[in-house]
Amino acid sequence: MEFVNSRKLSINIILLSVVPLIIVVAIVASLLFSQAKNLVEDEVKLTRNNIVISKKQELKQYVEIAVKSIEPYYLDSTLDEQTAKRIVSEKLSQLTYGSDGYFFVYDWNGVALVLPHQKERIGKNWWDVEDFKGKKLLQELIYVAKQGGGFVDYFWHKPSKQEPLPKLSYAISLDKWQWMVGTGVYLDDVENQISHMQHGFDINVSKSSAALFVVVFIAVSAIAGLGASLNLNVRKLANEQMSLLNQQIIDSQENERKRVSRELHDGVNQLLVAAKYRLENLQKESDELIKEGELQASKQAMDQAIVELRRISRDLRPPQLDDLGLVAGIGSYINDLRKRTDLELIFEHDIDGIEMVSEVETTLYRVVQEALHNVEKHAEAKGVDVILQREGKKLLLTVSDDGKGFKVSTDTKKQKFRKDSMGLQNMKERIQGIGGEFKVTSNLDQGTEIRVSLRMEFI
């Protein structure tokens, strides 16, 4: 009897705990692996599309650069057409990029004009040339070129391979000469990258499947109890952080509005008022020489007002930052500062080739802008160094001056600034908002150094 009761108890335990847990684990595992498979497929598709889009952008940029380099000769009306064509052909045949990138030129009838690596084909007509699938690639390239520029994909023999490989070309038209100018890139490396990535995903999924059952078995029983309390704590913390962030955004906007308002009032407004008074004096003055002097003075005041408005607009959002990137934006701002101050400014960097998201570029630019503004207004410095450099896996920004300095806490984690130092506080919050570290070192009569450290994976 006792044996029967023990067995029933064991069965009940299995039915009430182990079996439901196994069922849950099986359902979760199947859902996870199915989801993982779908995610891998989506990721592979997205990656392939992104790489192809990137290739297209590169090809288009290369062709645009090539066209820019020949425009002076193509548009020069003082050159006879044959001379201009010869110069342009020579320029294009000499232009290269990457390890084997080059440009080709055909006329609209299919005659090869520029082929740097296949000079034996120059002067011959290749109108009917086809890839191994029968696509008349040259006709399509000439067609899309006439339409304003476009891409054509086809298969072509790569010099280092024995078989035809997928290739993508971009072509535009020089309508005046009825020329097609283009360049192309092989896409076999795209599939190699995709294959490597997919293989890595498969390995990770295999490893995850081996560990999943163990982890889920241990975790499921604890998740239910901890989930509710954790959810409440996380929600409370998120609400608090959101409220704090909203307040910081409001404060930052108000400070920026005050700054712009002050600059408009103290600078542009005063210049316009001065110009207005001088123009009013013209109505009362009869001496033509004095009138001419007042008119010139009012014109100078309005010119200065225009310069000030442009500077304020550029400070709000410099076009170089969007068009040319962080280094060009900072360089432009420093050049403007050199023109209006006696500061000895040095800008050094070694971040060429580093791509940053827009938020990081904007944040670093604003920090440099605010730091240099503080130096100009308060530091009484003679020189400032701005340095952007890589150090291991970190990007470092340093702005240091030889000004009068001020007292500041040496504990960077608890470093807080006075209410009249909103610029420093804003810089600190901006850097912390993108996951970086912000440190100010300063002593009286020993200058100030602002140092920003940002992990490269955040960029």
Predicted local confidence at residue 263, as pLDDT: 63
Residue 219 has pLDDT above 60, yes or no: no
Q: Using 50, 70 and 90 to split pLDDT, how confident is the model at 83? A: very high
pLDDT for residue 253: 57
Task: Give the strand pairing for 104-107 and 112-114.
Answer: antiparallel
In this prediction, residue 230 carries a pLDDT of 47
Report the mean per-residue pLDDT for the chain. Answer: 79
Instruction: Enumerate domains of the chain plus CATH numbers.
Output: 49-186 (3.30.450.20), 342-459 (3.30.565.10)
DSSP state of 335: H
**Tokens matching residue 162:** 């024995």
Residue (of 150, 151, 179, 180) closest to 167 by Cα position: 151
Contact (Cβ atoms closer than 8 angstroms) between residue 180 and residue 84: no
d(CA 442, CA 447): 6
pLDDT at 103: 93
pLDDT per position as a tens digit, 134-146: 899 999 999 999 9
pLDDT tens-digit series, residues 148-193: 999 999 988 776 666 788 889 999 999 999 999 999 888 877 777 7
Confirm if 345 and 381 have CB atoms less than 8 A apart.
no
Print the SS3 string covering 371-415.
Answer: HHHHHHHHHCCCEEEEEEEEECCEEEEEEEECCCCCCCCCCHHHC
Asked whether residue 224 carries a pLDDT value surpassing 60, the answer given is: no
Residue 27 to residue 22: CA distance in whole angstroms: 9
Which position has the higher pLDDT, 24 or 165? 165
How many other CB atoms are found less than 10 A from the CB of residue 46? 10
- Angle ∠(172,176,178) on CA atoms, nearest 5: 60
pLDDT tens per residue, range 225-274: 544 454 456 567 656 766 665 666 556 556 666 666 666 666 667 777 77
> Which is it for strands 437-442 and 394-401: parallel, antiparallel or unpaired?
unpaired
Q: How far is CA 267 from CA 273, 274, 301, 305, 306, in A?
A: 10, 11, 10, 7, 10
* Entry pTM: 0.40
Q: Tell me which residue of 367, 446, 369 sits closest to 408, measured CA to CA.
A: 446
